[in-house]
A = this chain, B = another copy of it.
């Protein structure tokens, strides 16, 4: 039996050590934030990626430039090695942007701001013209059935719910229309699908994004119109249900392209076989510069190495910075990374992704296998008093699309959760350029990720 005085002493020493440790950690994290805010080049890298290179959809010429550029930056940061993982991708190329007209009379028509949705087929040089049926979602199409749908253009106009605080939840509640609307409408004989853009903002900016054709269903064109145009079209239809819409567009699909995950590996000094992944996806939609989605995540991940190097911090575990290929149009990069990790018997301690924009960080959400999750969540939660001064909390939830295929191999996954209010002002649009990114907000995200990795590296999981 341990005597009370000894218990007391042990307790005292334990508390003392914890405090000493915590105060050291607080100092390191302060230094991480200071370095990120005063010295990081993340914003300059992002400017190059989004403006000098630009939109970089998988398989596009720009996608290869982005691979070369980020590998060059990773090399210049002094990681141990950089390498590539090949993935097969299909290049969907927007040859001629959609033109959508609402026909008021035989000789008066209004051009609606529009954009072809990713993977859609084109109209093969023709103009498709038909009456419109406005619906609230996929279910209503099923209810209306062939009699009401056949030969018409289905207009999906359910808005994102403005009352949800987190805009990603509102997006999740509306995006089925964009993803599955065309095939659902085609089942009942529709000739095209027009989808209200995925944003809470009322403006003239159309938002693209992936649309997915169901196997065995006729492929019909799938086009987004701006929210203002959707409001106006709905209004016109309420006065004239026989209003016709016409549209044309031209796209090509070029299969069998090769894109690469770009990886910078920095070997750990004590546990080189235990890997911490940090990354974003390198591809972006073609309309803008992919600044928030997801250039921000890519440069923040690279900045983790930059910040540690500037601080002369040598991680104990191996850090892998991964620029994932083709998240937007199939998740090829994330799947291939996980497949190879399994095949090579690698041990991943943790993986962190930033893919929700370069805004002020508010939280990390975390995810992992049920068998250990609550225990690990508790341990990691205890670190977050250190991030309180920076307004960053830990919540349960998903992580990131690219790292999620790793989940079954056991690492604890994290997704950076920045303030979400502005994200869907820019998401998948021609407005997603460097001007939409605030340098300090971007750097705060890099600092939050570097701090989390420092804590994982210090205490394990």
Query: Which of B167, B200, B389 contacts A165 (CB under 8 A)?
Result: B389
Give the shortest distance, in Å, between A358 (CB) and chain B (any CB).
11
A38 to B160, CA, bound (A): 11
Query: Which of B38, B162, B163, B360 contacts A419 (CB under 8 A)?
Result: B360
Residues of B within 8 A of A421 (CB): 360, 438, 440-441, 444
Query: What per-residue 1/0 map shows which CB atoms of A409-428 lie under 8 Å from chain B?
Result: 00000000001011001000
- The answer to whether the Cβ of A439 comes within 8 Å of any Cβ in the partner chain is yes
- The answer to whether the Cβ of A37 comes within 8 Å of any Cβ in the partner chain is yes
- The answer to whether the Cβ of A398 comes within 8 Å of any Cβ in the partner chain is no
Interface size on A, residues (CB 8 A): 24
- The answer to whether the Cβ of A384 comes within 8 Å of any Cβ in the partner chain is no
Check B162–A38 contact: CB distance below 8 A: yes
A298 to B151, CA, bound (A): 52
A389 to B440, CA, bound (A): 25
Check A162–B37 contact: CB distance below 8 A: yes
- The answer to whether the Cβ of A390 comes within 8 Å of any Cβ in the partner chain is yes
Query: What per-residue 1/0 map shows which CB atoms of A389-411 lie under 8 Å from chain B?
Result: 11100000000000000000000
Check A163–B438 contact: CB distance below 8 A: no
Residues of B within 8 A of A391 (CB): 165, 362
Residues of B within 8 A of A440 (CB): 162, 167, 200, 421-422
- The answer to whether the Cβ of A33 comes within 8 Å of any Cβ in the partner chain is yes
Residues of B within 8 A of A389 (CB): 165
- The answer to whether the Cβ of A103 comes within 8 Å of any Cβ in the partner chain is no
A360 to B422, CA, bound (A): 10
Residues of B within 8 A of A441 (CB): 421-422
- The answer to whether the Cβ of A75 comes within 8 Å of any Cβ in the partner chain is no
- Residues facing B in A362-395 (CB within 8 A) are 362, 389-391
Residues of B within 8 A of A34 (CB): 163
Give the shortest distance, in Å, between A58 (CB) and chain B (any CB).
31
- The answer to whether the Cβ of A201 comes within 8 Å of any Cβ in the partner chain is yes
Query: Which of B37, B163, B422, B444 contacts A37 (CB under 8 A)?
Result: B163
Query: Which of B165, B201, B425 contacts A390 (CB under 8 A)?
Result: B165
- Mind listing 5 A-B residue pairs with CB under 8 Å? A37-B162, A37-B165, A419-B419, A422-B440, A422-B441
Not counting A37-B162, A360-B419, a sample of 10 additional A-B residue pairs whose C-beta atoms are within 8 angstroms of each other reads: A33-B165, A38-B162, A38-B163, A162-B440, A165-B390, A167-B440, A201-B439, A360-B360, A422-B438, A425-B438
Please provide the 8 A-B residue pairs with the shortest distance between their CB atoms, ordered closest to farther.
A34-B163, A421-B440, A38-B162, A421-B441, A37-B162, A360-B419, A37-B163, A422-B438
